[in-house]
């Protein structure tokens, strides 16, 4: 099966789907990743999570700073490292995953990643709708009601769908300018907090326990971990010569630029307003009581743009996952499935459910575990391919039949499937959320919220210990590989 495709159009809408990007279209720059990962973290929920570190975990200022820094480095360090496979193969992460799990085996982790995307997009949609409702209340005194909830949620999801459907070029432009705007207003908020906060009270707070620091790192890192399978999607237009080290550095620095100050701001705000971390139904309205209207409104509006972009980035990648799962639709139309599910799930959370923050933390915990099993297997597969002359074969990635070199045994790489299954089961055993407690949740790993780390380690160790998978069919003579034949070092 050939992989030759028509060049991507130069218009606003991206036409390329899951097929690997040809070498002649690899004209991206590593620096383009910086605003992408800045935009991926523009969420006011980080303020609430930072406040939770102070109120629920009992951490002080310096511990909150440590938690945010370590979480950003660990989570987005993994995003950056696995993004390198995108420039190796020129394909989305969900597509490259076929090489690790087999063309049929990939359906199983792919299905879980796809379902997790639904949840993440629903959370973001609800947060965005609450931001709109807060702005309406601050400016015009309009109180929330069921009709307004439906209208605002529908508007948010519709805008997200439109932006994500445009594709990579439109997202790059939006990310660039939203970074400037949000950065400006974030600086204004920081200046305001510096001038008005009771810093004696902030620094007088006693330190929390080491266990709560470790647990806090896991909570904050969970959001970043959810982006790991997405990383290759945004690196696939980079040329083979792009520096792997620069990809990792740009990814981490872009994420940390937003994540650190927002988590820290949330922790500082919690000193003067402890109810910030306990705002169970509406995670946005607290800004109206902490910040003056002239600052709260523009800050929320720019944050709202950021949340649209976060969901657009997620839906953009979800379209690839849907196509990889066999959905016979163009990427832009495949995105509509996620948009509809986000709308339905959002309506449930806003009109029926009562504990938004509790559900959000529970979701993050399960999200981290479900993605971590994939990360462990994919990471070992990448490490093995690093020394290969042909790291990914484009024809075989697109070929879901027996002629694919990633057919393995019946379409399954049993070593990868075994490692993934064992790690996922073990990770759930260490997990405790509102409505589920695993049998190992009371162990040191479970109590410290390290189920996600254990899941990655177990998946990696089991996969590495099993016999190295053998690709069952070499690339056909004359077929175009996903990269040049010469070895390409990560660095």
pLDDT of res. 485: 34
| Mean per-residue pLDDT, 31-35 | 90
Better-predicted residue by pLDDT, 83 or 279: 83
Using the predicted structure, report yes or no on whether residue 109 has a pLDDT greater than 80: yes
Name the residue with higher pLDDT: 204 or 271: 204
- Per-residue DSSP letters for 299-348? HHHHHHHHHHHHHHHHHHHHHHHHHHTT--S-HHHHHHHHHHHHHHHHHH
Say yes or no to pLDDT of 461 above 90: yes
For residue 281, is pLDDT > 80?
no
Burial class (CB in 10 A: 0-12, 13-18, 19+), 180: exposed
pLDDT at 9: 43
Residue 306: what pLDDT?
A: 75
How far apart are alpha carbons 461 and 420 in whole angstroms? 11
| SS3 (DSSP) at 370 | helix
Phi, psi of 448 (to 5 degrees): -95, 10
Domains of the chain, first to last: 23-465 (1.10.4160.10)
pTM for this structure?
0.81
Handedness of CA 303, 49, 310, 33 (dihedral sign): positive
Question: Who's near 310: CB < 8 A, 6+ residues apart?
Answer: 39, 40, 41, 42, 43, 124
Query: Which helix H or strand E contains 14, and what residues bound it?
Result: none
Task: Report how far residue 95's alpha carbon sits from residue 18's, in angstroms, rounded to the nearest whole number.
Answer: 7
Residue-wise pLDDT for 448-457, tens only, equals 889 999 999 9
- Judged on CB neighbours under 10 Å (0-12, 13-18, 19+), 359 is buried
Q: Which of 118-127, 243-252, 412-421, 450-459 shows the lowest mean pLDDT across its residues?
A: 118-127
The DSSP element (H or E) to which 421 belongs, if any, is helix 414-429
The torsion angles phi and psi of 82, rounded to 5 degrees, stand at -75, -20
pLDDT at residue 231, rounded to an integer: 92
Q: What is the pLDDT of residues 354-409, one digit of tens each?
A: 667 677 777 778 878 989 999 999 999 999 999 887 789 988 998 988 999 999 99
The encoded tokens of residue 408 equal 């393995």
The confidence band for 27, taking pLDDT boundaries of 50, 70 and 90, is: confident
- Looking at residue 420, what is its pLDDT? 97
- Taking residues 311-320, what's their average pLDDT? 69
CB 227 within 8 A of CB 40: yes
Judge whether residue 131 has pLDDT over 80. Answer: yes
Residue 324 has pLDDT above 70, yes or no: yes
The H or E element that residue 433 is part of is strand 432-433
Assess whether pLDDT exceeds 90 at residue 60.
Answer: yes
Cα–Cα distance between 78 and 72 in angstroms, integer? Answer: 10
Q: Between 58 and 186, where is the model more confident?
A: 58
Could you tell me where the DSSP H helices lie in 330-477?
A: 331-351, 356-385, 394-398, 414-429, 444-447, 451-465
What angle do helix axes 451-465 and 414-429 make, rounded to 10 degrees?
160
Residue 47 has which token pair? 């303020």
Output the pLDDT for position 362.
Answer: 78
Position 489 confidence tier, pLDDT thresholds 50, 70, 90: very low
Q: What is the mean predicted confidence (pLDDT) over 162-187? A: 71
More confident residue, 351 or 402: 402
Calculate mean pLDDT across residues 267-271: 84
pLDDT band at 316 (very low <50, low <70, confident <90, very high): low
d(C-alpha 455, C-alpha 449), whole Å: 12
pLDDT score recorded for residue 103: 93
Report the mean per-residue pLDDT for the chain: 82
* Per-residue pLDDT, 333: 66
Percent of the chain, pLDDT > 90? 36
Q: How big is the CA angle at 283 (ends 281 and 284), to the nearest 5 degrees?
A: 125
CA angle 63, 119, 223 (to 5 degrees): 25
Q: What's the pLDDT at 3?
A: 44
**Residue 390 token pair:** 């042909």
Q: Give the pLDDT mean for 292-317.
A: 80
How high is the pLDDT of residue 171? 66
pLDDT of amino acid 59: 94
| pLDDT recorded at residue 11 | 47
- Pick from 4-18, 358-372, 409-423: least confident: 4-18
Mean pLDDT of 186-208: 86
pLDDT tens column, 204-262:
889 999 999 999 999 899 888 988 998 998 899 899 999 999 999 999 999 999 899 98
Query: Residue 266: phi, psi to the nearest 5?
Result: -60, -40
Q: Which residues pair with 432 in a beta bridge?
A: 437
Contacts of 465 (CB under 8 A, 6+ apart): none
Q: Closest Cα partner for 305 from 192, 167, 176?
A: 176
C-alpha distances out from residue 161 to 315, 327, 339, Å? 7, 17, 6
Of 99, 91, 81, the residue nearest 491 (C-alpha): 81
- Residues whose CB is less than 8 angstroms from the CB of residue 226 and which lie 6 or more positions away in sequence, other chains included: 116, 120, 367, 368, 371
Stretch 42-69: mean pLDDT: 89
Q: Assess contact for 463 and 416: CB atoms under 8 A.
A: yes
Question: Would the pLDDT of 6 be above 70?
Answer: no
Q: What is the pLDDT of residues 83-108, one digit of tens each?
A: 999 999 999 898 999 999 999 999 99
- pLDDT for residue 1 is more than 50: no
Average pLDDT over residues 145-149: 88
Low-confidence winner among 324-333, 338-347, 435-444 (lowest mean pLDDT): 324-333
How many residues are given for the chain? 491
Report pLDDT for 311: 73
Cα–Cα distance, 155 to 165 (Å, whole number): 15
């Amino acid at each position: 099966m050939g992989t030759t495709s028509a060049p991507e159009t130069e218009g606003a809408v991206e036409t390329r789907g899951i097929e690997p990007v040809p070498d002649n279209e690899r004209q991206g720059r590593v620096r383009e990743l910086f605003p992408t990962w800045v935009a991926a973290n523009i969420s006011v929920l980080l303020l609430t999570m930072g406040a939770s570190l102070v109120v629920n975990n009992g951490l002080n200022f310096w511990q909150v700073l440590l938690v945010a820094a370590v979480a950003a480095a660990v989570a987005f360090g993994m995003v950056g490292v696995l993004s390198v496979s995108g420039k190796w193969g020129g394909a989305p992460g969900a597509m490259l995953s076929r090489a690790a799990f087999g063309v049929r085996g990939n359906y199983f982790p792919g299905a879980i990643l796809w379902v997790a995307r639904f949840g993440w997009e629903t959370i973001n949609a609800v947060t965005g709708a609450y931001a709109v409702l807060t702005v309406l209340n601050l400016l015009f005194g309009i109180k929330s009601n069921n009709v307004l909830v439906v209208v605002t949620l529908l508007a948010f999801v519709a805008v997200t769908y439109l932006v994500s459907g445009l594709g990579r070029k439109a997202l790059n432009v939006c990310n660039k300018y939203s970074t400037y705007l949000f950065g400006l207003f974030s600086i204004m908020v920081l200046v305001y907090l510096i001038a008005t906060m009771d810093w004696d009270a902030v620094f007088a707070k006693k330190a929390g326990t080491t266990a709560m620091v470790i647990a806090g790192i896991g909570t904050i890192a969970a959001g970043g971990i959810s982006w790991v399978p997405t990383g290759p999607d945004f690196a696939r237009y980079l040329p083979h010569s792009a520096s792997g080290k620069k990809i990792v550095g740009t990814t981490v620095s872009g994420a940390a630029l937003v994540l650190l100050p927002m988590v820290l701001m949330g922790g500082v705000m919690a000193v003067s307003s402890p109810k910030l971390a306990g705002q169970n139904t509406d995670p946005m309205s607290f800004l109206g009581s902490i910040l003056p209207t002239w600052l709260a409104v523009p800050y929320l509006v720019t944050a709202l743009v950021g949340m649209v972009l976060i969901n657009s980035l997620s839906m953009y990648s979800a379209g690839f996952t849907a196509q990889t799962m066999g959905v016979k639709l163009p990427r832009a139309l495949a995105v509509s499935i996620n948009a509809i599910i986000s709308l339905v799930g959002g309506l449930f959370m806003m009109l029926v459910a009562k504990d938004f923050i509790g559900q959000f933390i529970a979701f993050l915990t399960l999200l981290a575990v479900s993605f971590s099993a994939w990360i462990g297997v994919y990471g070992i597969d990448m490490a093995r391919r690093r020394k290969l002359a042909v790291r990914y074969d484009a024809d075989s990635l697109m070929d879901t039949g027996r002629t694919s070199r990633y057919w393995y045994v019946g379409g399954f790489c049993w070593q990868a499937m075994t490692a993934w299954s064992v790690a996922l089961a073990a990770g759930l055993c260490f997990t405790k959320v509102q409505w589920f407690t695993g049998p190992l949740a009371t162990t040191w790993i479970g109590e410290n919220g390290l189920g996600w780390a254990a899941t990655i380690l177990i998946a990696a160790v089991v996969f590495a210990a099993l016999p190295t998978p053998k690709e069952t069919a070499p690339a056909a003579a004359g077929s175009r590989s996903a990269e040049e034949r010469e070895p390409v070092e990560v660095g």
